Amino acid sequence: MKLAGSFVALITPFDSKNEIDEAKLRELVSWQIESGTDGIVAVGTTGESATLSKTEHRQVLEIVIDETKKQVPIIAGTGSNATREAVALTEFAKEKGADFGLSISPYYNKPTQDGIIVHYSKIAEVELPTILYNVPSRTGRNVEPETTLALAGNPNLVGIKEASGDLEQIRKICEAKPKDFAVISGEDAQTLEIIKLGGSGAIGVVQNEIPKEIKTMIDFSLAGDFEKAREINEKFAKLMDLNFADNNPIDAKWVLAEMGKIEYAVRLPLTEPSEENKKRIRAELKKLGLA
């Protein structure tokens, strides 16, 4: 199964009691499929995995897999800063029928590069195709390009979601990686540049809001038509930025609430966007005809 195209980093909707809203979650999954999304990432960072209990984590994944009905690939968030827990989540995802795992590099404990290699090598033993996830702004430790390339030789480690923001680092990986190792954009604003460097798509936040448009943009870029892709990118560039005005997924959930897709609810310590950012979001959605 090729890792290419537009993948949504799906939010986890909550109800007025701050519990998982299964009906809304199913609606969001169905809408993504109808919109042509190439795959769905469940219980990643955008899905508020950090504040879901282990039971809830598994519940969300089961709901998404059930609702998808094998129509598109499922990428299960399986990351943890504890290697044993990451392995256990990967085993669960494989058992339930996920197509890929997405595992963030260990956060908070800041392992060495050797530690990162051992961590992912243990996960790979589960034999679920797994995507590395490098986001040093959240983990406190960059996965160096040499580390990524060392791991890329493992047949069960099939790609990397790169959210380092360092295009030079990403260029090095794209130039030296094995042919079948996918480099996926993890920064919405950098998707086109990463595809130009040799990336094969994006796991994005903005796909929650405009899945069809971003799918079209990525399809154009993968076909080499960067002029048409750039037109779409420029149209929605401000929305992409606003999704991170406070923090992800605070603003993305506010956008979806303004669009009438969900009730606004996040788990503490996340709260609402600032009043100024609420105004900016409303103005942009009105301008785009999405409110």
- The yes-or-no answer on residue 279 being catalytic is no
Kindly name the residue from 94, 120, 133, 253 that is annotated as catalytic: 133
Q: What are the Cα distances from residue 167, in Å, to 171, 181, 215, 226, 245?
A: 6, 17, 22, 18, 22
Kindly name the residue from 24, 161, 177, 215 that is annotated as catalytic: 161
**DSSP three-state, residue 97:** coil
156: burial class by Cβ within 10 Å (0-12, 13-18, 19+)?
middle
Q: CA 192, 195, 197 angle in degrees (round to 5)?
A: 115
- The yes-or-no answer on residue 161 being catalytic is yes
What is the rounded CA–CA span in Å between residue 234 and residue 132?
Answer: 29
What is the rounded CA–CA span in Å between residue 207 and residue 248?
Answer: 13
**DSSP three-state, residue 233:** helix
What is the rounded CA–CA span in Å between residue 103 and residue 256?
Answer: 26
**Tokens for 267?**
């788990």
The answer to whether the CB of 250 falls within 8 A of the CB of 271 is: yes
Residue 77 phi/psi, 5° resolution? Answer: -65, 120
What is the rounded CA–CA span in Å between residue 149 and residue 13?
Answer: 36
Give me the active site residues, please: 133, 161
